[in-house]
C-alpha cells in the first residue's frame, strides 16, 4: 500500500517528467522543420506517440533491448531539455505552458479525487466504479500486456478470450516508455495523463481558430467539467488518448491552411501520423475519420493534393506494421471492428466484410433508419437542457 504523500510525490515527478520530454520533442521538431506553434505541438505529440509505438515493438521483440533503449531515449531527451534551460531558450516555449499545465493539473485533480477517501488501498480495483456504474476491466488491458512483455509471457494469455491483435498497442507502448516505475500506481498516473491530453487537442483547435486567450482558457476549463472527461481520465481505457489525436487532426484540417509547399508536406505528414496514432490508440477513432471524410467531401474543404498524398503515405507507413501483425502473426484481429460496425459481440470465423454484410443485409430500410434515430438519441439524450445539470 502506498501512502498519500508518496503517491503525490510520485504523481508530481511523473507528470513533470512527461512535460519536460514533451517540451524537448517540441523543440526538436521545431528546430528541425521550422514549424509554427500549432504544428510544433502536433509534431511533439506525433514523436511521443511514435516513440511509444516503437517501445511496444521493441518490448515485444526483446524486453532487455527495450530497457536499454528506453534509458537512452529518456536520458537524451532530458539532457536536451537541460540544454534548452542552460542556453535560456526555454522562454521560446511559454505558449506551450498553457496546454501542458491544463493537461497535467486536470490529470492530478482527477487522480486526487479518484484516490481520495482511502481508495489508494485498492488501486487496481477502484477505477472501474469510482465515478460511475461498474465498468468492465478494459482499463487494465494495457497494463496486463505490459506486464506480460516484461516477464516474457504471451500477452494474449492474460486477456481472457481476447487476442493481443484485437487491442491497439499504443497505450501499452507509451506506458512502457514513460513509466518511471513498474507498478499499478505508475500505470494509473501515466495512463491518466495520456487520457488528459484530450485537452491538448482542445487547445489545438482553440489556438488554431485564434480565439482570444481568455476565451481559450474558458473553453479548456469547461472541458474539464465534462463528466465524460473525468470518468475516462480515471478509468483509463485509451479512448480519450485517441480523442487527443483526432482533435489535433481536426485542428490541422479545418483551423489553418498551409501556404508554402514545405508547410503542405509537413501538414500532410502530421495529419497522416496523428490519424494512425488515433487508430493505434482505440479503433473507435475510425468513426471520426469517416466523419471527417464526409465533411471534407460535402463542403469541398479537402486540403491540397500534396497534403493528401503525404498524409496517406504516412498513415499507411505507420499503421501497416500493426495490420501485418493482426493478419499474419495473430489473426484475425478484427473483433473490435466487427463489434463496433456490425454489432457482432460473439466470436465467430466470419471476416469483417462478411459480418458487416450479414448484419446490415438483414435490416429493412425502416429498421435501419430507426437504428440511426436511436443512435442519435443516445448521443443527444437531454441536450441542450442537460448542459445545465452541473449548475443544479
pLDDT in tens, 110-168: 999 998 876 676 655 578 888 888 888 889 999 999 999 999 998 988 888 888 999 99
- The C-alpha cell that represents 177 in the structure block: 516508455
- Based on the domain organization, do 81 and 206 belong to the same domain? yes
Q: Would you say residue 193 lies in a domain?
A: yes
Residue partners of 348: CB distance under 8 A and separation at least 6: 355
CA nearest to 17, candidates 179, 233, 240, 203: 179
Q: Would you say residue 137 lies in a domain?
A: yes
- Based on the domain organization, do 254 and 360 belong to the same domain? no
What's the pLDDT at 119?
Answer: 65
Between helices 63-86 and 170-178, what is the axis angle to 10°?
60
Q: Would you say residue 276 lies in a domain?
A: no
Give the other-Cβ count within 10 Å of 32's Cβ: 9
What's the pLDDT at 117?
Answer: 73
Q: Would you say residue 319 lies in a domain?
A: no
Contact 275, 249 (CB under 8 A): yes
Tell me the C-alpha distance between 374 and 365, whole Å. 14
Range of the domain at 354: 337-381
- Residues of the chain whose pLDDT is less than 50? 390
Tell me the C-alpha distance between 340 and 203, whole Å. 29
- The C-alpha cell that represents 54 in the structure block: 516503437
- Based on the domain organization, do 351 and 224 belong to the same domain? no
In terms of DSSP H, where are the helices of the chain? 4-33, 37-61, 63-86, 94-114, 141-150, 170-178, 184-196, 198-208, 213-224, 227-234, 239-254, 261-281, 285-298, 305-324, 335-342, 352-361, 365-380
- Based on the domain organization, do 125 and 241 belong to the same domain? yes
Domain boundary among 210, 225, 259: 259
Q: Would you say residue 272 lies in a domain?
A: no
Domain boundary among 259, 287, 314: 259
Residue with cell 517540441: 26
- Based on the domain organization, do 222 and 371 belong to the same domain? no
Q: Would you say residue 11 lies in a domain?
A: yes
- Based on the domain organization, do 210 and 359 belong to the same domain? no
- The C-alpha cell that represents 121 in the structure block: 488501498
CA 318 to chain centre: 15
Q: Would you say residue 103 lies in a domain?
A: yes
- Based on the domain organization, do 137 and 241 belong to the same domain? yes
- Based on the domain organization, do 244 and 348 belong to the same domain? no
Domain boundary among 259, 292, 312: 259
Number of domains in the chain: 2
- Based on the domain organization, do 38 and 177 belong to the same domain? yes
What's the pLDDT at 273?
Answer: 98
- Based on the domain organization, do 200 and 62 belong to the same domain? yes
- Based on the domain organization, do 358 and 248 belong to the same domain? no
One DSSP character per residue, 198-256 reads: HHHHHHHHHHHTT--HHHHHHHHHHHHT-HHHHHHHHS--THHHHHHHHHHHHHHHHS-
What's the pLDDT at 293?
Answer: 82
- Based on the domain organization, do 199 and 346 belong to the same domain? no
What's the pLDDT at 121?
Answer: 64
Tell me the C-alpha distance between 105 and 102, whole Å. 5
What's the pLDDT at 387?
Answer: 52
Q: Would you say residue 357 lies in a domain?
A: yes
What's the pLDDT at 52?
Answer: 98
CA nearest to 140, candidates 178, 191, 104: 191
Amino acid at each position: 500500500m502506498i501512502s498519500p504523500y508518496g503517491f503525490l510525490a510520485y504523481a508530481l515527478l511523473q507528470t513533470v517528467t512527461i512535460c519536460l520530454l514533451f517540451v524537448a520533442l517540441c523543440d526538436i521538431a521545431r528546430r528541425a522543420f521550422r514549424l509554427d506553434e500549432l504544428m510544433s505541438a502536433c509534431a511533439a505529440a506525433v514523436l511521443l506517440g511514435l516513440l511509444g509505438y516503437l517501445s511496444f515493438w521493441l518490448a515485444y521483440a526483446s524486453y532487455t533491448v527495450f530497457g536499454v533503449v528506453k534509458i537512452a531515449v529518456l536520458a537524451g531527451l532530458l539532457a536536451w531539455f537541460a540544454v534548452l534551460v542552460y542556453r535560456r531558450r526555454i522562454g521560446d516555449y511559454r505558449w506551450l505552458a498553457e496546454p501542458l499545465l491544463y493537461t497535467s493539473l486536470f490529470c492530478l485533480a482527477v487522480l486526487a479525487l479518484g484516490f481520495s477517501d482511502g481508495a489508494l488501498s485498492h488501486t487496481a480495483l477502484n477505477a472501474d466504479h469510482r465515478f460511475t456504474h461498474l465498468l468492465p476491466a478494459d482499463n487494465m488491458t494495457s497494463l496486463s500486456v505490459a506486464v506480460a512483455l516484461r516477464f516474457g509471457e504471451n500477452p494474449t494469455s492474460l486477456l481472457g478470450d481476447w487476442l493481443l491483435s484485437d487491442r491497439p498497442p499504443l497505450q501499452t507502448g507509451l506506458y512502457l516508455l514513460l513509466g518511471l516505475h513498474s507498478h499499478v500506481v505508475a500505470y494509473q498516473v501515466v495512463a491518466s495523463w495520456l487520457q488528459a491530453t484530450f485537452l491538448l487537442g482542445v487547445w489545438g483547435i482553440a489556438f488554431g481558430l485564434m480565439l482570444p486567450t481568455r476565451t481559450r482558457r474558458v473553453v479548456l476549463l469547461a472541458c474539464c467539467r465534462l463528466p465524460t472527461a473525468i470518468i475516462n481520465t480515471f478509468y483509463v481505457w485509451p479512448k480519450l488518448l485517441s480523442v487527443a489525436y483526432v482533435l489535433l487532426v481536426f485542428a490541422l484540417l479545418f483551423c489553418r491552411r498551409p501556404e508554402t509547399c514545405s508547410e503542405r508536406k509537413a501538414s500532410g505528414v502530421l495529419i497522416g501520423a496523428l490519424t494512425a496514432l488515433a487508430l493505434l490508440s482505440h479503433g473507435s477513432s475510425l468513426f471520426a475519420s469517416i466523419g471527417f471524410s464526409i465533411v471534407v467531401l460535402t463542403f469541398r474543404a479537402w486540403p491540397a493534393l500534396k497534403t493528401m498524398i503525404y498524409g496517406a503515405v504516412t498513415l499507411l507507413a505507420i499503421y501497416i506494421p500493426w495490420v501485418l501483425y493482426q493478419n499474419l502473426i495473430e489473426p484475425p484481429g478484427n473483433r473490435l471492428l466487427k463489434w463496433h460496425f456490425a454489432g457482432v459481440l460473439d466470436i465467430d470465423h466470419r471476416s469483417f466484410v462478411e459480418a458487416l454484410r450479414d448484419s446490415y443485409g438483414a435490416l429493412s430500410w425502416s429498421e435501419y433508419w430507426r437504428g440511426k434515430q436511436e443512435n442519435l438519441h443516445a448521443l443527444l439524450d437531454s441536450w441542450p437542457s442537460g448542459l445545465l445539470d452541473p449548475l443544479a
